[in-house]
């Protein structure tokens, strides 16, 4: 039996030194335990006197082997870690892959800038729905069914009474219905018209403004527009109001800005006039106030609506509105700020 133990010791000891992985060491340990069990099973044939003596020998053998397994485990673990690090090694001197970061679309840039300018003057943002009823888009805005002004905007109807809003002015009604004056809101959003050429797209963006309070006059509108024009374009940009017509404002005005390209002398951009038309505005028509339950003898207000694409085209010198919707990255890359 002693020989058996001795040969097992030699065999296992030499093999332990050869193991290089935790798995191999574990398998060797299982083999050792099985062999040891065999040796211990043979103990039942020993005499009473031999048994305790031999038991001690086996115990010592077992303990010394286990200590060797444990110390080899530390070494093997170290080897495994080293191999793993070697495999995962990264050459930090290699040039990295460069990924292009996205950027905001020029429409979004202009929209954000408009919101910035007007919120600085105390306007709050309200967003209305893109699908509207005939009432909010037209009737409540003093444009009943047979009104000739309906022809000013070619409308996409979804059903008899449902349409894609042609103007963010629909939001004026939604706000005034819910909120009592004083009101000072800015309403950005997409609008839709059956209209398509170099300066018109069937889908475009508008920015609506509405102020209702006691004693609001056209002068307030003009002053606010002046402030807007100088912030959006240059500090020398001038504002000009021309009489116009919208069913929901009275009086109505068309607002021109002095041409930022030529400073008002006349150039190709302003078609020689020195002025560029940028938005429609006016004093809220008393019928519209009445439709929303606001007393027109107590309150007055002004409203304005501008095309975001138009402002973007003027600001960045874009001559075809379609380039804003084609998503050609060569075009869009120019607006990364
Ligand atoms: N809704 C008008 C349009 O789309 C613009 C406008 C808004 C005019 C508010 C006056 C007041 O043409």
pTM: 0.72
73 touches 25 (CB < 8 A)? yes
239 touches 222 (CB < 8 A)? yes
- CA gyration radius, the chain: 42
Q: What is the pLDDT of residue 119?
A: 96
Report pLDDT digits (tens) over 4-33. Answer: 888 888 998 899 999 999 999 999 999 999
What is the C-alpha separation between 262 and 243, in angstroms, rounded?
24
- Which helix (H) or strand (E) segment holds residue 75: the answer is helix 50-88
C-alpha of residue 275 to centroid of ligand 1, in Å: 19
Neighbours of 146 (CB within 10 A): 6
SS3 (DSSP) at 326: coil
C-alpha of residue 280 to centroid of ligand 1, in Å: 5
Write the residue with the smallest CA distance to atom 2 of ligand 1.
305
What is the C-alpha separation between 119 and 207, in angstroms, rounded?
13
First to last CA, the chain: 86
- Burial of residue 64, with CB atoms counted within 10 A of its CB: 0-12 exposed, 13-18 middle, 19 or more buried: exposed
User: Does the pLDDT value for residue 244 go beyond 70?
Assistant: yes
Kindly list the protein residues whose Cβ atom lies closer than 6 A to any atom of ligand 1: 167, 169, 208, 246, 249, 280-282, 303-305
Provide the mean pLDDT of the chain: 92
60-64, 150-154, 315-319: segment of lowest average pLDDT: 150-154
User: Does the pLDDT value for residue 122 go beyond 70?
Assistant: yes
User: Does the pLDDT value for residue 336 go beyond 80?
Assistant: no
Task: Please spell the DSSP secondary structure of 293-308, one letter per residue.
Answer: T--TTT-EEEEEEEEH
């Amino acid at each position: 039996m002693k020989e058996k133990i001795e040969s097992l010791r030699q065999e296992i000891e030499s093999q332990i030194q050869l193991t290089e992985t935790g798995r191999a060491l574990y398998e060797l340990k299982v083999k050792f335990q099985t062999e040891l069990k065999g040796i211990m099973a043979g103990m039942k044939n020993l005499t009473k006197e031999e048994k305790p003596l031999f038991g001690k020998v086996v115990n010592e053998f077992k303990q010394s082997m286990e200590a060797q397994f444990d110390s080899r485990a530390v070494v093997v673990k170290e080897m495994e870690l080293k191999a793993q690090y070697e495999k995962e090694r990264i050459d930090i001197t290699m040039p990295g892959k460069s990924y292009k970061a996205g950027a905001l679309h020029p429409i979004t840039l202009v929209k954000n800038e408009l919101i910035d300018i007007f919120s600085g003057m105390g306007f709050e943002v309200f967003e209305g729905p893109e699908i509207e009823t005939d009432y909010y888009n037209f009737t409540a805005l003093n444009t009943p069914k047979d009104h000739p002004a309906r022809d000013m905007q070619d409308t996409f109807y979804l059903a008899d009474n449902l349409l894609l809003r042609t103007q963010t002015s629909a939001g004026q009604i939604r706000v005034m219905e819910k909120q009592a004056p004083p009101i000072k809101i800015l309403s950005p959003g997409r609008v839709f018209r059956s209209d398509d050429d170099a300066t018109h797209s069937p889908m475009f963006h508008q920015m609506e403004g509405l102020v209702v309070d006691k004693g609001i006059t056209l002068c307030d509108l003009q002053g606010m527009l002046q402030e807007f024009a100088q912030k959006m374009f240059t500090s020398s940009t001038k504002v000009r109001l021309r009489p116009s017509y919208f069913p929901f404002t009275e009086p109505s005005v068309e607002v021109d800005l002095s041409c930022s390209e030529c400073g008002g002398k006349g150039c190709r951009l302003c078609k020689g006039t020195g002025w560029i038309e940028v938005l429609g505005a006016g004093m809220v028509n008393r019928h519209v106030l009445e439709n929303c339950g606001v007393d027109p003898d107590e309150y007055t207000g002004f409203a304005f609506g501008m095309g975001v694409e138009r402002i973007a085209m003027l600001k960045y010198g874009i001559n075809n509105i379609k380039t804003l919707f084609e998503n050609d990255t060569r075009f869009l890359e120019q607006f990364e700020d």
